[in-house]
Structure 1
Amino acid sequence: PWKSSDFSNFCRLAKNPQIMRYVNQGKTWSDKRILSFVDKQKKRFQEDGYCRWVVVNKIKNNFVGLCGVGLFEPPGFLEIGWWIEENFWGNGYATEAARCSLEHAFREIHIPHLKSVVHPDNHASLAVIRKIGFQQKRSGLLGDYQRSPKNLPIVTYSLK
């Protein structure tokens, strides 16, 4: 799922403040954190059959973003999520990629339950999560799950 050439593409995402505004309190990632993330995706796929996959445009075969299942730590539940390059926003890539990820998770590797944690101001991701059938379970703060950042608002969705 991940090639070495995807690292520079993912760097663009993880270093873009517009994309990161709902991730990590809007802080961009260092090269070290990006490399660690990519390594975890490769390992997770080899060991468990899921990860955040690279999303490409089918016609031009160029990098669009990433989407898939990841481990939300702590507390350790499986979550679906996506990051899409700005120039591809509003074109259905997140929805299509999320549907493919769900199909793989439920049919191929038999994951019984997925969640999604979304910032309440991320209206595009909220629209996608509803389109693919998730139901809102609760609103709260990220600190309800993790030690920090306690003040980041989130909405949790679930699908079985």
Structure 2
Amino acid sequence: MTTLETERLILRPLTGDDFEDYAAMMSDPEVANGLAEPSVTSREDAWRSLAKFIGHREIRGFSHWALVEKDTGRFAGRAGPWQPYGFPGLGVGWCLARPMWGKGYATEAARAALAYCFDELDAEEVVSLILPGNERSVSVAERIGHRYLRDVEYLGRTARMYGQQRPR
């Protein structure tokens, strides 16, 4: 999978070497509670979650990238394209470690992921699932051009689906 760079971030494939930073991010209840996927409550859950994204890349050829701050080399989170079995379309998602919140990294990474979906994956539509009440993610979705489409059921939870068509 391609490594991308934005103004402040390097988006590179997730690896097993990211586990400690990934597990720390996912163990934060405020981070985990905002995700449409099942909660990560242990290091074992974090391992399975990381493996899921790495495995997705092996199966589909794309997945979330590790987000790394260019200036510091610190792990900032994950973001990227996503289409696991049962997902309602080609998606783009993001998850940042809480110390990285409020810096605009989610929007920066989501824009790069969205462009990748349209330019490299030749998508006609890209969607994002956001849990009700996750206004931070709604703001990111709207900043990248997504609009609310409808509510959907995913993994036993109701999520709000945002998305957009390929620009013409």
TM over 0.5: yes
Which of the pair is proportionally richer in helix? 1
Number of equivalent positions? 153
Is 1:22 the equivalent of 2:34?
yes
Is 1:31 the equivalent of 2:36?
no
Normalised by the size of structure 2, how large is the TM-score?
0.80
Say what the alpha-carbon RMSD is for the aligned residues.
Answer: 2.2
SS at match of 1:5: helix
> CA, structure 1 residues 154+145, in 2 after alignment: closer, same or farther (shift >3 Å)?
closer
* Aligned equivalent of 1:4, options 16, 25, 29: 16
Q: Partners of 1:67 and 1:131 in 2: how far apart? A: 15
> CA, structure 1 residues 134+51, in 2 after alignment: closer, same or farther (shift >3 Å)?
same
SS at match of 1:77: coil
| Unpaired runs of at least 5, structure 1 | none
| Unpaired runs of at least 5, structure 2 | 1-12
Q: Which has the higher contact order (CA 8 A, sep 6+)?
A: 2
* Aligned equivalent of 1:155, options 150, 154, 160: 160
Contact 2:56 2:84 in 1 (8 A): no
| Superimposed CA distance per residue, residues 51-91 of structure 1 (whole angstroms, 9 cap, x where no aligned partner) | 01110111111100011112254245322111111111111
Normalised by the size of structure 1, how large is the TM-score?
0.83
* Aligned equivalent of 1:49, options 58, 61, 65: 61
Q: Which residue of 1 aligns with 2:115?
A: 103
More displaced stretch, 93-102 vs 112-121: 112-121
Whichever residue aligns with residue 163 of structure 2, its letter is: S
SS at match of 1:60: coil
SS at match of 2:48: helix
Q: Which residue of 1 aligns with 2:6?
A: none
